[in-house]
Chains A and B, each alone.
Chain A
Amino acid sequence: MTERRRGVVLLMAGALALLIVLGMSLGPTGVRAPWAWQDSIIGLRVPRVLLAAIVGGSLALSGVAMQALLQNDLADPYILGLAGGASVGAVSSLALWPTLPPGPAAALGAAGAVWVVRRLAGRLYDPLRLLLSGIAVSSILGSATGLILTLAPADRLLRSATFWLFGGFGTPQWSAIALPAALLLGVGAWMFQRSERLDRLSLGSDVATSLGVDLNATRRWVLLASVVLTAGAVAAAGLVGFVGLLAPHAARLVAGATHRRLLPLALLGGAALVVSADILARTAFAPREVPVGLLTATLGGPFFLFQLHRATGRADRRSA
């Protein structure tokens, strides 16, 4: 890693640490410096901010994995029907068992949807087939979610489902952090160890094969890694959009496509984005709270359009 890139990673880690402290210090009632934190802050805000960082990091790594799998920088963690499956799972859970948290049902729904997409795509993990099957399944599951919301009698369902569909953290217990943190650590380390295979996979089927990659086995574990990370994040926080698309993109601009450098930077960037969005969600309209996913999309949309504009300009210059 060159000095400059190591510097960027350290800078990003420092910025994330600052954001985490800021997130813990800021609340609807104002700012409270770390030395003045009370038990209530440690019990309520600290788990929430850490969960936001973990969810952001998980979605960013999941996005990196999905982009390598589908050889498409526009792929995000939800593209293979995960969002649709999670929505159906969560909304069904909210409708049938309103007192239970919808997270587990959402994770199951997400995993189930990917399983269906995988079966529909056929024997091979062909990126185009996966993508097309994912779009079809997402569309069907989106309709199913709408149908459940329309037919379910309680208005409260609509409100809680809407909040869940846009993502948010509420007031998580310390115990709620354990599983997503363990998944992020485990799967993240697993992916980092296989960075070079992700590099070769991202170059496309033929090149990857010629460079000694066992395509089916590698794609299977990359898909699994992405699903596990996304399901963990969705179970904890609902559908927080754009992070899995934006963080890998931004990291790639600095680190290039080499996954050994890209993965840490994407993880830090994703975590920083969601922690920032969560701070805004809690404070911008205090005492009301807006869903975090709305803010990640609000922050991410313009950045993405800017990148698209840059890429289009570059393509135009190439063809000129």
Chain B
Amino acid sequence: MTAVVESCGVSVGWHMQPVLRDVNLCVYAGERLALVGANGCGKTTLLRALSGLERPLSGHIRWLDRELPQGPARVNVLGLLLQDERPSHFGVRDLVTLGLALDGVPTAAQRASVDTALSRSDLTALGNRSCLSLSGGEFQRALLARAWVAQPHLMVLDEPSNHLDPARQAELLRRLDQLHGTCAVLLSTHDLSLAASCDRVALLHAGRIDVVGAPQDVLTPARLARTLGARVQRLDDPSGGPPFFRVLCERQRESAS
């Protein structure tokens, strides 16, 4: 299988203090991989390093067995959704068009790509609205549309289901399913059901990758208890869908015991 991004012995941190240590991770073409871990375990830092935003203190990262292209060609390799982007005065269509990294007015074909991205994100009707007037969920969908408008080999999504209502979360999942096999997706999430819908899951704990594997092997109560520091009940869907997870807080744990 072709690796879209591969990190070998990567440590990332600030002022020579590593936040992530010795990370070996490979995302293969067309697969969907979820990063799961407690707050502060280094998920976002790892995503930033794998997106070329942080330079590793040691180790190396390769994208399609090359360096990450600089300049506009970058968006053909990697589409990125960050957690903390704030709405701006850009119109929705303009924001999505920026995902093509053009230096000039878009051609008819490029406008058609934008139309497709808007339509797939259910944003066609909002195309001329200012991002400032959108709800959190609508803005998140606009950012997702911008990340995939150039049809990159890899999409890196930092908590993509943030701000989305249940219907939109289901829509996100459906969209990710459509991309399955054509575009690799690396996402971080606290939504264990979303993680369970991925091909593989990596559990991050204290700056290291604990385990990587199929969701049914990785998302077990024992492993999740270690990673998240909480007791987790896993409820398998008898109809074969992704399992449900119930995280028990201390009080629930006492009454359960």
A: residues with CB less than 8 A from B are 2, 194, 196-197, 199-200, 202-204, 206-207, 209-212, 214, 252, 256-258, 260, 314
Contacts and interface: CB of A to CB of B under 8 A. Distances in A.
Interface of B: 48, 51-53, 70-75, 78, 80, 82, 85, 88-91, 94, 98-99, 101-105, 128, 130, 132
A196 B53 contact: no
B94 A204 contact: no
A200 B88 CA distance: 12
A252 B53 CA distance: 29
Nearest to B69: A212
A212 B85 contact: no
Contact of B53 (A202, A203, A206, A260): A206
Nearest to A314: B132
Contacts of B73: 212
* Main secondary structure on B side of the interface with A: loop
Contacts of A210: 51-53, 74-75, 78, 80, 82
A320 to B, nearest CB: 13
14 contacts: A2-B128, A200-B98, A203-B88, A206-B82, A207-B80, A207-B85, A210-B52, A210-B80, A211-B98, A211-B101, A212-B72, A256-B91, A257-B88, A258-B90
Nearest to A197: B103
Contact of B75 (A2, A212, A256): A212
B257 to A, nearest CB: 40
Contact of A194 (B48, B80, B103): B103
A202 B85 CA distance: 12
A37 B129 CA distance: 48
Nearest to B89: A257
A320 B186 CA distance: 33
A196 B103 contact: yes
A258 B94 contact: yes
B103 A256 contact: no
A252 B88 CA distance: 11
A257 B86 CA distance: 13
Nearest to B130: A256
A260 B90 CA distance: 12
A12 to B, nearest CB: 18
A64 to B, nearest CB: 12
Contacts of B78: 210
B91 A212 contact: no
Most buried by A among B88, B90, B91, B103: B88
A209 B48 CA distance: 11
Given A196-B98, A207-B82, A260-B105, A212 B70 contact: yes
A196 B105 CA distance: 9
A110 to B, nearest CB: 28
B53 A256 contact: no
Contact of A196 (B75, B85, B102): B102
B46 to A, nearest CB: 15
B101 A200 contact: yes
A43 to B, nearest CB: 42
Nearest to A258: B94
A197 B70 CA distance: 14
Contact of A212 (B48, B51, B71, B90): B71
A197 B82 CA distance: 19
10 A-B pairs with the lowest CB-CB distances in the bound complex, closest first: A257-B89, A212-B72, A210-B80, A212-B101, A212-B74, A257-B90, A258-B94, A212-B71, A211-B101, A256-B91
Nearest to B146: A211
Contacts of A211: 72, 74-75, 98-99, 101
B236 to A, nearest CB: 38
A204 B128 CA distance: 22
Contacts of A258: 90-91, 94
A257 B99 contact: no
Nearest to B48: A206
A204 B98 CA distance: 13
Nearest to B132: A314
B94 A257 contact: yes
Contacts of A256: 89-91, 94, 130
Contacts of B85: 203-204, 207
